[in-house]
Structure formats: structure tokens, C-alpha cells
Amino acid sequence: DTAVSQTPKYLVTQMGNDKSIKCEQNLGHDTMYWYKQDSKKFLKIMFSYNNKELIINETVPNRFSPKSPDKAHLNLHINSLELGDSAVYFCASTTRGKNIQYFGAGTRLSVL
Amino acid sequence: SQKIEQNSEALNIQEGKTATLTCNYTNYSPAYLQWYRQDPGRGPVFLLLIRENEKEKRKERLKVTFDTTLKQSLFHITASQPADSATYLCALIPNSSGDKLTFGTGTRLAVRP
């Protein structure tokens, strides 16, 4: 009955590889986010989609490409992975205007 | 530049005491301020939201204050318990950016029995 679910939970890969992280929410929300939490635990927004439309795109390398096939799903594809991409990536969702965000459990990405 | 600052050092308190965590911000005009709890290996969980025109909000053992003149929010946990041990994050929604949340760095709280 998980509200916001991310897969995989852990991802270990080599530099230069391409990987994807998936997120799904069953809360009926219309807005979804990707955040990056670095080793110092700082949580920073990367992208936001509302009804499949990109509404927030922070200064993120264009190796990161979000895709929202429908308002319940937001995936993150990362090309040419670098050591500095190692972090925990969190997906979140909300109903636009409600402001309270619901987070997934995170995907710990380790780039070797 | 915009900043949201929370005590980076862990707060250690005795069970039963009141924990008080601080969130200071600069160069923001937040419409809302929120507090989240994050446990190790988990995502943040929403606790309380306070609006810019509210001074105080309570929920069970939790209390949040919001002083837009001092640009500060205080988060209190009364009668603290070891189960309250976690990292607490404050987050702002600036007036200008709708539903974009900007988080502080978090403060780790440890409640010892």
C-alpha cells in the first residue's frame, strides 16, 4: 500500500553507464518531484512535473532527463554517470496548491 | 543570496525534556514554512505547516512558531521520547514560486533515555 514508491532502492554502477530510476504514486496527486540528497544530507530539488508538464527545472546537467508518462509516474534517466552523481534520489508528490509533499523511501545511487 | 540555516550540530537531550530546533532564513519572503522529519534510510515525512500570517501552530506534542520579522521558526517537541530521535528539516515555500519547496540542511535530534 506504499503511497510513493521508487525502484530500485539501491543502484551501484560504473562511471559512464546510463541508468534509470522509476517513481510511482497512488495518492491521486497531480504534481511529482525529483530531489537529490548529497552526503551532507542537503535535499535539493531537481525537477517537478504537473500533469505530465515540466514546471520546475533547476540547474541540473542535461545528462539528467525526467520523463512523466502520466501524472502517477515520474522517471529519471541519467546518462554518462559521474562519481559526483552518487547520492540519494528522492521522488515526492503533492496536489498542486496543497504544498504538503509525500516522499518515497529514496534510491541510493553509488557510482564507482 | 538566499539561505535557510538550521543547527548543523546534533541536539542531544534527556527524555522528558523539551527539544527546541531553530530555522533561520535570509532573503526569502515565505508564504509557508514546513517542518519534516527524516529517519535514516527513509524519505522526509511532513509534520506541520505554518502560514506567514500565523504565529504559532500545535499538533499533539509538537509546536511551531513563525516570526517573519526575525525570519525565524522554532520547532518544539515537548515531553520528548527516544522515538523522537531523527533529523528534522525545515522547508520554505517562497511567495514567488508556488509549490517549490526549499529545504534547510536539517538538525539531528538525539533523545537519550
pLDDT digits (tens, 9 = 90+) for B52-63: 899 999 999 999
- Asked if the Cβ–Cβ distance from A105 to B41 is below 8 Å, we say yes
Helices (H), chain A: none
Q: Exposure string (b/e) for B13-41, b if CB count within 10 Å is 16 or more?
A: beeeeebebebbbeebebbbbbbbbbeee
- Asked if the Cβ–Cβ distance from B41 to A101 is below 8 Å, we say no
Q: For residue range A8-35, list pLDDT tens digits in order.
A: 999 999 999 999 999 999 999 999 999 9
What pLDDT, on a 0 to 100 scale, did the predictor assign at position B66? 94
Phi, psi (rounded to 5 degrees) for A104: -80, 180
What pLDDT, on a 0 to 100 scale, did the predictor assign at position A56? 85
* Pair A56, A45: CB distance under 8 Å: yes
Cα torsion at B57, B59, B61, B67 (round to 10°)? -10
**Three-class SS of residue A88?**
strand
Q: What are the residues whose beta carbons fall under 8 Å from the beta carbon of B43, sequence distance 6 or more?
A: A4, A90, A92, A103, A104, A105, A106
Which whole number is the average pLDDT over B69-84? 96
Q: For residue range B1-39, list pLDDT tens digits in order.
A: 778 999 878 999 999 999 999 999 988 888 889 999 999
Chain B residue closest in CA terms to A50: B99
What does the DSSP 8-state code read for residue B61?
T
* Pair A21, A76: CB distance under 8 Å: yes
How do the pLDDT tens digits run along chain A, 112 residues long?
679 999 999 999 999 999 999 999 999 999 999 999 998 888 999 999 998 889 888 878 899 999 999 999 999 999 999 999 999 999 999 988 888 999 999 999 999 9
A44, A100, A104 ranked by CB distance to B49: nearest:
A100
What pLDDT, on a 0 to 100 scale, did the predictor assign at position B59? 95
Rounded Cα distance, A81 and A50, in Å: 27
A45, A56, A106 ranked by CB distance to B43: nearest:
A106
- Does A56 reach chain B within 8 Å, measured CB to CB? yes
**B98 has a pLDDT exceeding 70:** no
**B49 has a pLDDT exceeding 90:** yes
Chain A residue closest in CA terms to B31: A99
Which whole number is the average pLDDT over B50-78? 94
